[in-house]
Structure 1
Amino acid sequence: MTIDKLTREDAIAEVRHEPDLSRYSLWQDGELVGLADYRQGGQDLTFIHTEVDPAKRTNGLASILIEEALDDVRTRTDLTVVAACPFVADWVDQHAEYQDLLSRGR
Structure 2
Amino acid sequence: MENEISVVDAKERSRYEAVGPDGNLMGFVDYKLYPGAITFLHAETLPEFRGRGVAGTIATKSLEDARALGLQVRPACPFYQDFLAEHTEYADLVKTA
Q: Would you call these one fold, judging by a TM-score over 0.5?
A: yes
TM-score by length of 2: 0.90
Write out the 4+ residue segments of structure 1 that deviate beyond 4 Å after TM superposition: none
The Cα of 1:103 is off from its aligned counterpart by: 3.7
Is 2:92 the counterpart of 1:100?
A: yes
1:18 corresponds in structure 2 to 10
The Cα of 1:10 is off from its aligned counterpart by: 4.8
What root-mean-square deviation, in Å, do the aligned CA atoms of Structure 1 and Structure 2 show?
A: 1.7
Runs of 5+ in structure 1 lacking a partner? 1-8
- Letter in structure 1 aligned against 2:79: F
Q: Does the aligned pair in 1 maintain the 2:19–2:25 contact within 8 Å?
A: yes
Q: Distance in 2 between matches of 1:60 and 1:10?
A: 8
The Cα of 1:89 is off from its aligned counterpart by: 0.7
Number of positions where the alignment pairs a residue of Structure 1 with one of Structure 2: 96
- Letter in structure 2 aligned against 1:64: T
Q: Distance in 2 between matches of 1:80 and 1:11?
A: 28
* Residue 50 to residue 10, structure 1, CA distance change in 2 (3 Å): closer
Runs of 5+ in structure 2 lacking a partner? none
The Cα of 1:91 is off from its aligned counterpart by: 0.3
The Cα of 1:69 is off from its aligned counterpart by: 1.0
1:52 corresponds in structure 2 to 45
1:5 corresponds in structure 2 to none
Q: Does the aligned pair in 1 maintain the 2:2–2:52 contact within 8 Å?
A: no
1:32 corresponds in structure 2 to 25
Identity among equivalent positions (%) equals: 34
* Greater strand content: 1
TM-score by length of 1: 0.83
